[in-house]
Amino acid sequence: MKRTLLLLFAMGTLLTLGTTTSNLMAQGAGAAQPAANQQQKPQIPVVVVDFMYLMEIHPQLYVETNNLNQKIKQVSEKFQNDTVQFQNKQKELQGLTPGTQSYAEKMDELRKSEAEIKLRAMNEEDSLQLIELRANYQAYQEIKAMIDAYAKNNNILLVVNHIDIARRLPKEQSPQTMSAELSQMPTVVYRNTAFDITPAIEKWLNDTWGPKGIPAVDYETVKDQRFGTKPGGAAPQTNVATAGAGGVGR
């Protein structure tokens, strides 16, 4: 941050000196400068963007995240059924006499069943995590490419990531929401909304995915899923910076 401020100060000083030198040379030559040629000191274009918010409202990622949550639910239910079956086999073991052949066979069956359940659970978890990682990474690459293109097209030199916690909280204040907002130390303390390019990139995302049949994400729904908007609802996550990129609570 200090280095950035020094850079802005140095460039502003050079621009001022350059303008002063040009005016002195013009005055020395006795040539009056037309008003049209009197330019204001250019500003260094610095903007902010809420990258995490764009990940949360990415149309395709939102759909894929909801689908993934359904798969996770199905896998969880299957794992619970496997657990119940395993517990039933344990009850069968309790009815057998230790030291007998039937007891030994049932023990071997239980050990094998337990190993298979654990292996399936590990494989399912790895598979789902890879799907989630790929979906998030693809969305990340698309958003970053849009921000890069927008910055180049608008002569922007620096884009600062700014997570706006207030945007994520329900409109109705509660002790939980106030605590969540107070717990966040904002990267940018003040910003002029004109220098926030988040809405522009959000529109670009919706314009890209809308024609493909994937609608824009209603962020009020996202907030309701994460925080709950009714009194007594789920307490909001205070560590928004490390929340799931898809914006859907799992």
Q: List, for residues 45-95, the tens digit of each pLDDT value.
A: 899 999 999 999 999 999 999 999 999 999 999 999 999 999 998 998 888
Domain spans, the chain = 48-242
Q: List, for residues 217-238, the tens digit of each pLDDT value.
A: 999 888 877 765 544 444 444 4
In the block, which residue shows the tokens 């009815």? 95
Section 141-150 average pLDDT: 97
Nearest one of 140, 3, 125, 136 to 72, comparing CA atoms: 125
Confidence of residue 170 (pLDDT cuts 50, 70, 90): confident
201/37: higher pLDDT: 201
Strand partners, 203: none
Instruction: Give CA–CA dist 112/130, Å, rounded.
Output: 27
The per-residue pLDDT of the chain, averaged, comes to: 78
State CA 113 to chain mean position distance: 39
Please name the residues in contact with 224: beta carbons below 8 A apart, sequence gap of 6 or more.
Answer: 170
What separation in angstroms does the CA of 209 have from each of 59, 140, 154, 232? 7, 15, 23, 36
Q: Residue 165: its pLDDT value, please?
A: 85
Residue 122 has pLDDT above 90, yes or no: yes
Q: Residue 241: its pLDDT value, please?
A: 37
Residue 42 has pLDDT above 70, yes or no: no
Query: What percent of the chain has pLDDT above 70?
Result: 73
AA letter at 103? Y
Lookup: tokens for 71: 């798969």
Section 131-144 average pLDDT: 97
**Least confident range of 13-22, 57-66, 237-246:** 13-22
Q: Residue 111: its pLDDT value, please?
A: 94
44/222: higher pLDDT: 222
Q: List, for residues 172-204, the tens digit of each pLDDT value.
A: 788 888 888 888 878 888 888 889 999 999 999
Q: Residue 186: its pLDDT value, please?
A: 81
